[in-house]
Amino acid sequence: MEEWLAEDEHHQALLQDWKSCSTIRQKTEAYERLKYSEAWEDFRKARQEKMSLLRRKRWNMWMKYAALFVVPLSVAVVLLWNNTEKSKELQVAESIVNPGKSQAVLVLSSGERQALDEEERSFKDGGMTIKAQSGEINYANQVQKNAKNASAFHTLEVPRGGGYFMVLADGTKVWLNAATRLSYPVAFGEGVRKVFLEGEAYFEVAKDAERMFVVETAHAIVKVLGTSFDVCDYEEDGKMFTTLEEGVVEMEKADNSEQMRMAPGEQVCLVEGGRMRKYEVETALFTSWRSGRLVFKNMSLEDLMRNITRWYDVEVKFERESLKKVVFTGDMKKYEDLSDVLEFIELTSETHFLIEGNKIIVY
């Protein structure tokens, strides 16, 4: 150890840096100050070159002096080992866990199921010809041409690892998130325009002063005339919420016992126990998924990994309950390779991941 320290004045500084808790705090604070959306691409480009150079230099040093300072620098050795192993695991993950893509299953009124993806599809239902292409299905023009046979009821099911865009018969645009199911009439009548949702979807409702648009979930009813909003109601989340970007929305409990009107920038949340609460929020944190981005601020690792299980169709296991409460802030592409997403999380915390097939172990 003494010989190694005497060889170069920088060795002493390196030793102190490894042993310093304040260094860890400084790096953590620096990560918190980062503008993630701007820094992420620069980080990815530079990381491979820097890590490759550092590994070559440090490996020679460790081989020469390992026997001299195994005890005093054991923590540093473990950190370097973890980084090396982590890199191997995440590289393997790239070939196992594929990013999500545009896909869904359309259930016709007859019960027939049609798989939808980026390819063009055409099929008949009740005398109507339904076409889907380029990862979307549009009823607006098709129904007008077949109005006499437009009384059918369809269901669009988006699996985990998928997403889909559609236009309803009235021109309302709907983005469906992963693990979501939307049931709707092929054509809306003269009364209320009603759809049924399980999961999460973003709506841009076509304005119609004479026909209210209603989104019904297992726990609440959302009523609008023309607006842009997000509705999220996954059973496993234990809560349901609506986030409003434009217009006016009224959210009502399924049992009609309570209702709240919302303004743009507000969110109404219904939690277990039936409590309804209203908050002012940054809407981008809850709606950016439709444009293909992950934007999160002070989100718990439990909630973040729950979203990842849907977007990438994987299972997650936490080795310690305390890890679920670790919070993160970031902005990245929703369908980036999963290995890049996990590596980003590892570099901004003491959290690590082990990938076994289609399962992610958090430790």
- Cα torsion 327, 330, 333, 334 to 10°: value is 30
pLDDT in tens, 59-118: 444 444 343 333 333 333 333 334 444 444 443 444 346 666 889 999 999 899 999 988
Q: In percent, how much of the chain has pLDDT > 90?
A: 48
| d(C-alpha 78, C-alpha 337), whole Å | 27
Q: Which residue from 276, 195, 257 is spatially nearest to 229, judged by alpha carbons?
A: 195
pLDDT in tens, 315-325: 999 999 999 99
For the chain, domains (ranges, CATH) are: 1-99+292-363 (3.55.50.30), 101-286 (2.60.120.1440)
* Residue position matching structure tokens 């209203």: 278
For residue 301, pLDDT beyond 60: yes
* H-only helix segments in the chain: 2-7, 9-19, 21-33, 36-65, 74-94, 140-145, 284-287, 301-312, 338-347
